[in-house]
């Protein structure tokens, strides 16, 4: 379902998923999360994800993996996040 990110120009929007951990307080315990967003390339995806995390109050983030989704995820909360990403939103799924 996830493939490595590449910079091929396609007619379809590229929906990225970024897996990592973010921190709300310095030295605090990290929150595992998945971020889904539409972007033209992986550099833009990472930059937009970090900006969205900052807007949500996170101070730091460790982003571990990035990939491009080939299909719509069948299960929640990823299915809703995918739809939001198609509409231009940056969806942050928290695993508290």
The tens digit of pLDDT for each residue in 45-95 reads 999 999 999 999 999 999 999 999 999 999 999 999 999 999 999 999 999
Our measurement of the distance from residue 49's CA atom to the centroid of its chain's CA atoms, rounded to an integer in Å, reads 6
Nearby residues of 88 by Cβ (< 8 Å), 6 or more positions away: 38
Instruction: Give backbone dihedrals phi and psi of 83, rounded to 5 degrees, phi first.
Output: -60, -40
- The pLDDT value recorded for residue 8 is 52
**pTM metric for this prediction:** 0.85
Domain containing 33: what range? Answer: 2-95
Domain count of the chain? 1
């Amino acid at each position: 379902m996830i493939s490595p990110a590449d910079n091929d120009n396609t007619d379809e929007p590229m929906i990225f998923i970024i897996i990592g951990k973010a921190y709300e307080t310095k030295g605090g315990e990290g929150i595992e999360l998945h971020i889904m967003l539409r972007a033209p390339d992986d550099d833009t995806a990472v930059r937009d994800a970090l900006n969205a995390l900052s807007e949500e109050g996170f101070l730091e983030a460790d982003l571990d993996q990035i990939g491009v989704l080939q299909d719509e995820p069948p299960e929640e909360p990823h299915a809703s996040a995918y739809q939001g990403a198609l509409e231009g939103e940056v969806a942050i799924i928290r695993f508290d």
